[in-house]
């Protein structure tokens, strides 16, 4: 049965429950040394304390991150996670240093260097490409709401991160992390392994300490899967908590941006400043009275005590070694005071309905986005992009554009097929899905393995993806957080906690307490092909 995950059509492989030992990374190679090692694994709190004490300047930190991008991303292991460094980054840093020297109070993300996935508009010297050669000269006329919020909060937009082209919604088979504009992003743990997508560059850059944090976007798996494969934390918020205006769309129903970081604390620090009502995104009106400007009060080391968490067992079974690891972590959750209840999803069959909804919404949303671009961009519709790809020498070199073609055959959002598919998928994942489970078992959250370890990148056959569990939260539009849960050989894997709409506070409590009790995050070693 085909499912949709990580902005891809995929065929899951169900393996038998053969028990293997879950191991931690071996010392196959010594940790490589790169510039500005003081930045490695640094947190936002440590960075900002350094600013206050005069130990660092924002210019120094930004310059050193740029040096690391050059040494690690463009040379050395050549991760290819950054499409472009912001030409204004050092000037922004200088203005922030002047703010601090003047004695003015500083905003919450003061001096935090952030990479944005390259489907998020910034009104500066950087184009917003979606990874496509068609948009390589597309310079937005204004900031996305996300970019505007980051600037307001004092962050430094360090540059744009590579991604699976068009957020992995183009080809019937593709390699996650590949874009026609820049090519393939590598996994920093083992270089021939895949970073997952579509927020591939965001995940890799955070893992490799090329930025403090990054912003990804998810339709189905595109924040949590690259976080899983790259050993970091990813928050996929409730749809509507953060505005999508100025982001190249796939699905109005499922799309959301979200923070990606090395720690739950840093991801939570990023989340609050991004929330807020945006008249250009009607879904944000649903967050009125539910969104918070600060989620750090929920960073509680005792946050697991008394929590009832449902382990969704029918979302397991795609790889026995992952199952073994998860059951080990269940024991640790119990030791921290959580009660774990095994549950199964009461309703399935929502994946095909979601595919239909995305095809309709992608055509409608992309046509709207393209129609508003500057006249210097000649492509005004999905049909135009399809024709560009057919003429281009690179875009169809490895992978087709079957999903584009399927979407372009769809009618408007008033069609019966669209309306029925939308109603069916939301009912199955909400009132007959997450909401029903949470109420029936009196749960605070649900949990499942985020995915399998990273597979080997293959530009001929595409992704060899074993399985993942993003769909229930993604299709419902409800929040999820993935946290590093350990390693299988040299490769990280994560556990996801998810729940009802607007339940980010309790999910942060659970994720933070679990992270602090386990400390599974380890920096990558850039190992060669295994």
* Residues annotated as catalytic (active site), given as ranges: 117, 198, 222
> In the structure encoding, which two tokens stand for residue 472, read together?
């229930």
**How far, in whole angstroms, is CA 370 from its chain's centroid?**
23
**CB contact set of 72 (below 8 Å; sequence gap of 6+):** 34, 79, 208, 210, 526
Q: What is the DSSP code string of 415-480?
A: SHHHHHHHHHHHHHHIIIIIHHHHHHTT-SEEEEE-BPPPPBP-TTT------B--HHHHHHT--E
Which position has the token pair 């009132």? 431
Q: Specify the pairing of strand 491-498 against strand 480-488.
A: antiparallel
CB 514 within 8 A of CB 495: yes
Q: Compute the half-sphere exposure of residue 383: CA atoms within 13 Å on the CB side of its CA.
A: 3
Q: Which of 185, 196, 73 is nearest to 455 (CA)?
A: 196
Beta bridge partners of 235: 481
Give SS3 for 137. coil
Q: Are 269 and 253 in contact (CB under 8 A)?
A: no
How far apart, in whole angstroms, are the C-alpha atoms of residue 468 and residue 441?
23
DSSP-derived pairing of the beta strands 178-179 and 183-184: antiparallel
Let me know: does 432 contact 346? Beta carbons within 8 Å: yes
- Cis-peptide into 198, omega within 30 deg: yes
At 399, phi and psi to the nearest 5?
-135, 155
The three-point CA angle 342-224-89 to 5° equals 155
| DSSP assignments along 262-296, one per residue | SSHHHHHHHHHHHB---TT-GGGGGGTTT--S--G
| C-beta separation of 44 from 295 below 8 A | no
Distance CA 459, CA 7 (A): 17
């Amino acid at each position: 049965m085909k499912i949709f995950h990580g902005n891809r059509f995929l065929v899951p492989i169900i393996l038998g429950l053969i028990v293997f030992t879950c191991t931690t990374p071996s010392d196959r190679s010594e940790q490589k040394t790169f510039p500005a090692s003081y930045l490695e694994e640094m947190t936002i709190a440590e960075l900002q304390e350094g600013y206050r004490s005069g130990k660092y300047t924002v210019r120094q930190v930004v310059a050193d991150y740029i040096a690391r991008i050059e040494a690690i991303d463009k040379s050395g292991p050549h991760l290819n996670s950054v499409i472009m460094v912001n030409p204004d980054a050092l000037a922004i840093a200088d203005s922030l240093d002047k703010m601090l020297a003047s004695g003015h109070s500083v905003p919450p993300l003061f001096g935090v260097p952030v990479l944005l996935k390259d489907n998020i508009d910034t009104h500066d010297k950087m184009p917003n490409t979606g990874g496509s050669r068609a948009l390589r000269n597309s310079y937005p006329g204004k900031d996305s709401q996300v970019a505007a919020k980051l600037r307001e909060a004092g962050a430094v937009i360090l540059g744009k991160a590579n991604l699976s082209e068009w957020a992995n919604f183009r080809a019937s088979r593709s390699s996650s992390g590949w874009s026609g504009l820049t090519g393939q992003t590598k996994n920093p743990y083992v270089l021939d392994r895949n970073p997952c997508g579509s927020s591939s560059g965001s995940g890799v850059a955070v893992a490799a300490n090329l930025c403090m944090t990054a912003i990804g976007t998810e339709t189905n798996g595109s924040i949590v899967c690259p976080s899983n494969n790259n050993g970091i934390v990813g928050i996929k918020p409730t749809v509507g908590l953060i505005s999508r205006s100025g982001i190249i769309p796939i699905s109005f129903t499922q799309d959301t941006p979200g923070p990606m970081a090395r720690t739950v604390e840093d991801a939570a620090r990023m989340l609050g400043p991004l929330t807020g009502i945006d008249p250009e995104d009607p879904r944000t009106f649903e967050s009125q009275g539910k969104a918070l400007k600060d989620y750090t009060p929920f960073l509680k080391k005792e946050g697991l005590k008394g929590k009832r968490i449902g382990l969704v067992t029918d979302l397991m079974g795609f790889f026995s070694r992952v199952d073994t690891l998860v059951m080990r972590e269940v024991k640790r959750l119990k030791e921290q005071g959580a009660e774990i209840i095994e549950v199964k999803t009461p309703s399935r069959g929502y994946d095909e309905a979601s595919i239909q909804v995305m095809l309709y919404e992608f055509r409608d949303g992309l046509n709207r986005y393209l129609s508003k671009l500057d006249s210097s961009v000649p492509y005004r519709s999905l049909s135009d992009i399809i024709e560009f790809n057919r003429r281009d020498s690179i875009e169809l070199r490895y992978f087709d554009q079957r999903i584009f073609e399927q979407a372009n055959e769809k009618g408007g959002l008033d069609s019966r097929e669209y309306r029925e598919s939308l109603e069916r998928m939301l009912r199955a994942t909400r009132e007959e899905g997450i909401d029903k489970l949470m109420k029936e078992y009196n749960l605070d959250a649900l949990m499942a393995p985020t995915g399998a370890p990273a597979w080997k990148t293959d530009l001929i056959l595409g992704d060899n993806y074993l399985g993942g569990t993003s769909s229930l939260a993604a299709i419902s539009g409800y929040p999820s957080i993935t946290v590093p849960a350990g390693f299988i050989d040299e490769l990280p894997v994560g556990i996801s906690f998810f729940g009802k709409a607007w339940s980010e506070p309790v999910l942060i409590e659970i994720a933070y307490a679990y992270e602090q009790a386990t400390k599974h995050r380890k920096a990558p070693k850039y190992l060669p092909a295994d």
